Amino acid sequence: MTQAYIENQKGKSLKATLRLKLHLDPATEEALRETLEQSTSCFNAVCRHGWDNDQRNGTRLHQATYQPLRETHSDLPSQLVISARMKATEALKSVQERKRQGRFVSCPQSSLCPVRYDARSYWIRLSDGYASLATTQGRVCVSFRLCAYYTRYADWRPCSADLCFRNGKYYLHLVVEREAPNPVAEGVLGVDFGIVEIATDNDGNRYSGEAVKSVRRRVRRIRRLLQQRGTKSARRHLKRIRAKQSRFVKNTNHVVSKSLVGTALTSRKALALEDLSNIRDRADTVSREMRWLLGNWAFLQLRQFVSYKAEALGVPIVLVDPRNTSRTCSECGHCAKENRKSQSKFHCQQCGLMLNADLNAAKNIKARGECSDALLFWSEALPTNQEQAPNL
């Protein structure tokens, strides 16, 4: 309930989705129920038409289905008929994509599909805790309580909202947005992600992965035992353990990313990270450790958390060339495989520098970040009044 998902958006806006639980009287609940059912019926009808006629084009689907649906669903506001058609088009397109990948798919059907509201079909007063929604029985007013965590979003702009029904309760999933603060930086903080330490920065701060590793080891042991047993209750237990582990990793990633971004913000530095976008194409120049990390969703999640938190607080991120960051000496620049003595030790064969391997890599990443053109641009464009950052 008190969680918000912020995504990096194109351009300069930040978005978050708030999950608001609605408090309803029986009559309003009935109106929402009927609206959800009718909208779902429209959704299914459009999906069926698109499926049978192999049609994925939004305009064509509209032309073919809008009038008949208006006649059969006369209570449903026209805007909601259109929004159901738009959702159905998205579903058909994603089915087409999966088909293209050679997977078996059937016509998309929904038992109760969320209703998408936009500026024409709803409005909301976030700080006052109420909204007005178009339904089959005209406009209805719904109320909700804005929890303490969400008050920080009270002045963000509301965009679209989805009305959802889950476990007997009605929720409004509201998307809000605002401008991202201008990035500010006067220096660079190099960060190396790894297995031994989740992250190490070039000042030697470590964001330890010890807790994560011990939990992972324990879970692996229990999992093996349960898989051997293979009973129904063992499988249920296994599922619970998996969910618990993923919550634990997520929490750790939030803690680590918050701490990293916080360090960069207070020292007014940009975060330099390794650019992993083309890394798969040149596996030969990337360490085995890096390849292991790339297949690890927890690590990718951490990078995601770091980037959205950085964007929300105006901390620039500089992506640097990841080649040989762990083999190069941060003191003299000598690059050799032999420099890396073990997972944790770096020993330069030329100048004799001995250092923790992650710290050495972080220093290299910092140095590469300082040479980046992007950073030059950010230092010149230092804004005078930094917008007050939300507390993430």
Could you list the residues that contact Zn ion (CB under 5 A)?
329, 331-332, 334, 348, 350-351, 353
Q: How far is the CB of 173 from Zn ion (least distance, A)?
A: 54
Q: Is the dihedral of CA 161, 165, 168, 173 positive or negative?
A: negative
Helix, strand and coil content of the chain, in percent to the nearest 5, comes to 45, 25, 30
Nearest distance, CB of residue 351 and Zn ion, angstroms: 3
* Smallest separation (angstroms) from Zn ion to the CB of 328: 9
Nearer to Zn ion, 245 or 339 (CB): 339
Question: From the CB of 350, what's the least distance to Zn ion, in Å?
Answer: 5
Long-range contacts of 107-112 (CB under 8 A, 24+ apart): 107/47, 107/48, 107/51, 108/47, 108/51, 109/44, 109/47, 110/40, 110/43, 110/44, 111/40, 112/36, 112/37, 112/40, 112/165
Task: Give CA–CA dist 76/35, Å, rounded.
Answer: 7
- Considering beta carbons, is residue 279 or 335 the nearer one to Zn ion? 335
CA dihedral 112, 113, 116, 117 (to 10 degrees): -10
3-state secondary structure of 173: strand
Closer to Zn ion at the Cβ: 154 or 332? 332
- Closer CB to Zn ion, 3 or 350, in the complex: 350
Place of tokens 């249920």: 236
Nearest distance from residue 336's CB to Zn ion, in Å? Answer: 9
* Shortest reach from residue 178's CB to Zn ion, in Å: 47
Which distant-in-sequence residues (6+ apart) come within 8 Å of 281 by Cβ? none
Please provide the DSSP assignment of 272-298 as one string.
Answer: EEE--TTGGGGGGGS-HHHHHHHT-HH
User: Of 56 and 334, which has the nearer Cβ to Zn ion?
Assistant: 334
Q: Whole-number minimum distance, CB 331 to Zn ion, in Å? A: 5
At closest approach, how far in Å is the CB of 354 from Zn ion?
10
Q: Are 346 and 340 in contact (CB under 8 A)?
A: yes
- Shorter beta-carbon distance to Zn ion: residue 85 or 363: 363
Place of tokens 């038409």: 49
For residues 377 and 137, give the distance between their C-alpha atoms in angstroms, rounded to a whole number.
55
Residue among 283 and 336 whose Cβ is closer to Zn ion: 336
The least CB distance from residue 348 to Zn ion, in Å, is 3
Which residue, chain included where needed, has tokens 């309803």? 24
Residue with smaller CB distance to Zn ion, 276 or 335: 335
Looking at the Cβ atoms of 110 and 324, the one nearer to Zn ion is: 324
- The set of residues, in sequence order, having a beta carbon less than 8 Å from that of 189 and lying 6+ positions away, is 201, 202, 203, 263, 264, 267, 269, 270, 271, 272, 366
